[in-house]
């Protein structure tokens, strides 16, 4: 079912029962290959938004078990590090063969992503750019990482990015790949429903009034819950006042959680009320200029 083992690879395709369904002509499909020693780690791709997008043929996932390219009896994929040091390093052999098989004869529009805590920080703009590739290959390393020659050789064939999802160390590239895949896929046309809107998210990159700010708090029914009332302004029907309140809250949250983002806002995007809110929140403003 689903997508395509290539060569000796018994790819664990994430089931895609609607793959044969009619696909609107001209629609772009993004193919995502994942190479890992834990294929079962990627069962979340069948769930929720991404699962539905795969069923509808907007995204195609193929998960490949690295051990299919390990040829010794134990299917080993790692070895002791040259130069000494703790832990094990993933051998280039199986990785090279895996990439050969996954890339096949051609790789136009393909990008290889190596999740690693020593990579460049993953950001929303990268998620959007990745979604414009025809194909993304995630190579999930474990242990102390993959022999560096693998990435160097791959770079002669496809663009390669070493990417970190944050300043902390995970037990392997798998959870990082899931994070990036989710961020990429929800931006693809047709994946988010009408109810959701990517540009207004925190980091959504929209050019609107909330650009560069974190999203503030949100509320729904009931109007009073455990004695806590929804802010009355949200019930006022005064759209301008509500927009102003939302911006105030976004400014307060950004100051509290991400002063670095606040400091990066161009000062000329701040009006008098913004400056008042920031001053009340204790964010340093000097004269008419933001302090950096």
Question: Contact between 181 and ligand ADE (CB under 6 A)?
Answer: no
117 binding ligand ADE? (CB under 6 A): yes
**Out of 55, 201, 244, 267, which one is annotated catalytic?**
201
Quick one: which segment of 111-119, 193-201, 241-249, 280-288 binds ligand ADE (CB under 6 A)?
Answer: 111-119
Calpha distance 113→162 (Å, rounded) = 6
Beta carbons within 10 angstroms of residue 89's beta carbon: 20
Give the interface segment with ligand ADE, choosing from 70-78, 128-136, 169-177, 282-290 (CB under 6 A).
169-177
Q: Quick check: 131 binds ligand ADE (CB under 6 A)?
A: no
Q: How far apart are CA 102 and CA 84, in angstroms?
A: 32
Where do we find the tokens 């959701």? Answer: 196
- Regarding 137 and contact with ligand ADE (CB under 6 A), the answer is no
Q: Does a cis peptide bond (omega within 30 degrees of 0) precede residue 222? A: yes
**Contact status, residue 124 vs residue 204, Cβ threshold 8 Å:** yes
Q: Which is nearer to ligand ADE, 166 or 222 (by Cβ)?
A: 166
Choosing from 15, 44, 117, 267, the catalytic residue is 117
Those residues with Cβ within 8 angstroms of residue 285's Cβ, 6 or more apart along the chain or in another chain: 275, 278, 279, 291
Using rule CB under 6 A, residue 170 touches ligand ADE:
yes
Does the footprint of ligand ADE cover residue 166 (CB under 6 A)? Answer: yes
Cα(145)–Cα(117) distance, integer angstroms = 10
Question: Is 186 marked active-site?
Answer: yes
Question: With binding defined as CB under 6 A, does residue 151 bind ligand ADE?
Answer: no
Asked whether position 36 contacts ligand ADE by CB under 6 A, the answer is: no
Terminal C-alpha separation, the chain: 55
The DSSP secondary-structure symbol of 14 reads P
Measured CA to CA, the distance from residue 104 to residue 98 in angstroms comes to 10
Given 164, 201, 211, 242, the residue binding ligand ADE (CB under 6 A) = 164
HSE-up of 186 (CA within 13 Å, CB side)?
17
Q: Which residue is catalytic, options 55, 79, 100, 144? A: 144
Nearest approach, Cβ of 146 to ligand ADE (angstroms)? 11
Cβ proximity to ligand ADE, 170 vs 265, nearer residue: 170
Q: Does the annotation count 79 as an active-site position?
A: no
Helical residues (DSSP H) of the chain, grouped into ranges: 48-55, 92-103, 124-130, 148-155, 173-185, 239-257, 259-264, 272-280
Q: Which is nearer to ligand ADE, 124 or 164 (CB)?
A: 164
Tell me, by CB under 6 A, how many residues bind ligand ADE: 11
Residues that bind ligand ADE (CB under 6 A): 115-117, 164-166, 168-170, 173, 176
């Amino acid at each position: 079912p689903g997508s395509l083992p290539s060569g000796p690879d018994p790819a664990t395709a994430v089931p895609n029962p609607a793959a044969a369904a009619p696909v609107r002509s001209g629609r772009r499909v993004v193919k995502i290959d994942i190479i890992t020693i834990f294929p079962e780690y990627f069962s979340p791709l069948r769930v929720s938004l991404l699962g539905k997008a795969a069923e509808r043929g907007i995204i195609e996932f193929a998960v490949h078990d690295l051990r299919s390219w390990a040829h010794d009896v134990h299917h080993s994929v790692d070895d002791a590090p040259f130069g000494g040091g703790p832990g094990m390093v993933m051998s280039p052999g199986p990785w090279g063969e895996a990439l050969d098989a996954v890339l096949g004869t051609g790789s136009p529009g393909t990008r290889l992503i190596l999740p690693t805590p020593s990579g460049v920080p993953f950001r929303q703009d990268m998620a959007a750019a990745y979604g414009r590739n025809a194909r993304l290959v995630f190579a999930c390393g474990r242990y102390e990482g993959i022999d560096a020659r693998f990435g160097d050789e791959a770079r002669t064939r496809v663009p390669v990015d070493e990417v970190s999802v944050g300043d902390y160390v995970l037990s392997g590239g798998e959870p990082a790949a899931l994070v990036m895949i989710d961020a990429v896929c929800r931006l693809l046309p047709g994946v988010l429903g009408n109810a959701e809107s990517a540009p207004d998210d925190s980091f959504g990159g929209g050019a609107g009034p909330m650009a560069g700010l974190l999203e503030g708090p949100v509320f729904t029914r009931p109007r009073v819950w455990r004695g806590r009332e929804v802010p009355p302004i949200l019930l006022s029907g005064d759209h301008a006042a509500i927009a102003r309140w939302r911006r105030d809250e976004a400014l307060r949250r950004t100051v509290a959680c991400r002063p670095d983002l606040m400091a990066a806002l161009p000062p000329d995007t701040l009006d008098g009320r913004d400056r008042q809110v920031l001053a009340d929140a204790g964010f340093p403003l000097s004269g008419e200029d933001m302090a950096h």
